[in-house]
Amino acid sequence: MTEDEKYLFDVNGYIVVRNALSAADIALANAAIDRYADRIRERVGEDSLSGGSKALQGSTGRGDLDGALSWEEPYGRPFRDMLVNRTVVPYLHELLGPGFRLDHDLAIITMRRGAEGHILHGSSGPGFDRHQYYICKAGRMHNGLTVVAYQMADVNPGDGGLCVVPGSHKGNFPCPAALRRGEAYRDFVKQITCKAGDCIIFTEAVTHGTLPWTADHQRRTALFRFSPGNLAYVPHAWPANKLELMSPEQRLVLEPPYHSRLNRPVLRLDGEPAAASRSE
């Protein structure tokens, strides 16, 4: 990360990495989503994410599509490659430290016109969440659970989709309920616009959610959640059949949580394997 990017992440709690995916990556990822579109599950009824907010309600729910890391060739390839994307890896080194790991399985999010929003949430203030946090000490940023969201479709002003309250990752007081529900203080909520191929990285400590989708085209986001190498938010053991599909570099990111001093294998900044780390 450049010094400017470190400043912007520290101030805002997120950053947009432009052109993280090539045109070929985007095309293949979209073809894969089209192939498995019949598996998309829309969150309606009790699975609604709008929290009963009239400001966030819609005619249908967000679409969830799971299992992409296990899809056969070539359809799973672009998503497996996202684990060690050479443009994004240096950012994760800076934000999570060498030896960062995939905490949650990949979730592909879709939204069609009329899809409801997601009530705003985040782990900042008033307590300390030891799994989702942001701290800066001695010029170094430290994050807990961190989201990496690759875009397979443009998100234009007014379309909806991901929104954040910039700077809220440093908040010390509870987020007002009316803000969380999108019913007040809307000037403090920022919709994140981006192009297909861009990647949004944000700490789970920042207050974030989703605005209802208004565009005619479908929102498509591949959402990964990473943690520092010593930390786990969810219990997870990657099945052998999934690991068999991974390259040696990708398998490093699926290591279980443990301290780097215990010979933890890590990626270099260029996405290639490095020697096991013994750092303290």
pLDDT digits (tens, 9 = 90+) for 18-74: 999 999 999 999 999 999 999 999 999 999 999 999 999 999 999 999 999 999 999
CA distance 13 to 174: 17
∠17-21-26 over CA atoms, to 5°? 130
* Predicted local confidence at residue 80, as pLDDT: 98
pLDDT in tens, 258-280: 998 898 999 988 888 875 544 44
Q: What is the CA radius of gyration of the chain?
A: 18
Is it the case that residue 17 has pLDDT exceeding 60? yes
Taking alpha carbons only, the member of 243, 197, 225 closest to residue 69 is 243
Distance, CA of 70 to CA of 102 (rounded, Å): 15
> What type of residue sits at position 213?
W
Kindly report the average pLDDT of the chain as a whole number: 95
Task: Identify whether the C-beta of residue 115 lies closer than 8 Å to the C-beta of residue 162.
Answer: no
72-128 residue pLDDT tens: 999 999 999 999 999 999 999 999 999 999 999 999 999 999 999 999 999 988 999
Q: Tokens 């994410």 label which residue?
A: 49
Q: What is the pLDDT of residue 55?
A: 97
160 pLDDT higher than 60: yes
Superfamily of domain 3-253: q2cbj1_9rhob like domain (2.60.120.620)
Cβ proximity of 206 and 14 under 8 Å: yes
